[in-house]
Amino acid sequence: TKMLFNDSIMDRKKVIDIEDRGYQFGDGIYEVVGIYNGRAFLLDEHLERLQRSAKELKINIPYSVNRLKEQLLELVKINGLKEGVIYLQISRGVAERWHQFPVEEVAPVLVAYTKEEETLKEEEDNGATAILTQDIRWLRCDIKTLNLLPNVLGKQKATEKQAVEAIFHRGDIITEASASNVFIVKGSVLYTHPANHFILNGITRRKVIDLCNELDLDVREETYSVSDLLSADEVFITATKLDIVPIIRIDEVLIGEGIPGKYTTRILQAYRDIIRETSNE
């Protein structure tokens, strides 16, 4: 398959310098965009978040975002990708290894490639399990950076316990999960952690909040505790790569009746409908 390297679509090959700051420091940003039926879902939203991450870290996106959008769509087309994701990352660039930013202007290094993946898979619609683990990340989780070691360790711990996700708690507050956002349902109210520096404001999260508003469901961006989570009627997680997955057990605790609840099921169905509609327009 082909890759995007800076502004060129070329054969996929090894092109990264050993002094790329993304490689040495995790000094870069990324996005993962879902492709359904050959169409990029919420691409503008992902590119907006990319621009925000770039600004927060003072990384210059090497060319216009309009051009980048065109190139990404071209890459999807050339690779004939129907179902899967685009992975895109931009590092601060290549420079002699010092922690501070390079003094001389260096060009950021942009790479993107596509990956075929089964989308809208229904195998987890009956619910999945998660574990709880301490949130040991820094205080700028709102930036989508390449620095993902705490997320990697969390996901690994979950995997070792045959769980799909590690849900993070910072003290008594549930923040999000290693690669997804977390929603709970209590009675007729949905709660999810507010979009501040403790979480990544997921594109899926935002779309689910909009959807709840459209469906007239009471959704609140408020913090909730570990015991709120464990005693919730329903729990689900959201991410580009998962869309929505009902969580029916956390460590040894069954959530609600141990089956996906009615709010979760309704939101999941409605969300899939939006994806199907937008990718078949």
Of the two residues 41 and 263, which places its CB atom closer to ligand PLP in the complex?
A: 41
Of the two residues 2 and 206, which places its CB atom closer to ligand PLP in the complex?
A: 206
**Rounded to the nearest whole angstrom, what is the least distance from the CB of residue 14 to ligand PLP in the complex?**
25
Pick from 211, 192, 200: nearest CA to 278? 211
Neighbours of 114 (CB within 10 A): 24
**Rounded to the nearest whole angstrom, what is the least distance from the CB of residue 118 to ligand PLP in the complex?**
17
User: Which helix (DSSP H) or strand (DSSP E) does residue 49 occupy?
Assistant: helix 43-57
The CA angle 33-36-42, to the nearest 5 degrees, is 45
**Rounded to the nearest whole angstrom, what is the least distance from the CB of residue 15 to ligand PLP in the complex?**
24
C-beta separation of 180 from 199 below 8 A: no
The CA angle 181-222-196, to the nearest 5 degrees, is 65
Give the Cα separation of 68 and 70 in Å (integer). Answer: 5
**Rounded to the nearest whole angstrom, what is the least distance from the CB of residue 146 to ligand PLP in the complex?**
11
Active-site positions read 144
The total number of residues written for the chain in this structure: 281
- Which residue is at the shortest CB distance from ligand PLP? 202
C-beta separation of 176 from 199 below 8 A: yes
**Rounded to the nearest whole angstrom, what is the least distance from the CB of residue 155 to ligand PLP in the complex?**
10
Of the two residues 168 and 263, which places its CB atom closer to ligand PLP in the complex?
A: 168
Of the two residues 94 and 170, which places its CB atom closer to ligand PLP in the complex?
A: 170
**Rounded to the nearest whole angstrom, what is the least distance from the CB of residue 36 to ligand PLP in the complex?**
14
C-beta separation of 206 from 183 below 8 A: no
C-beta separation of 143 from 199 below 8 A: no
Pick from 199, 138, 142, 144: nearest CA to 167? 199
Of the two residues 143 and 259, which places its CB atom closer to ligand PLP in the complex?
A: 143
Give the Cα separation of 137 and 130 in Å (integer). Answer: 19
Of the two residues 75 and 182, which places its CB atom closer to ligand PLP in the complex?
A: 182
Interacting residue ranges for ligand PLP, rule: CB under 6 A = 32, 151, 176, 179-181, 200, 202-205, 238-240
Give the Cα separation of 168 and 178 in Å (integer). Answer: 7
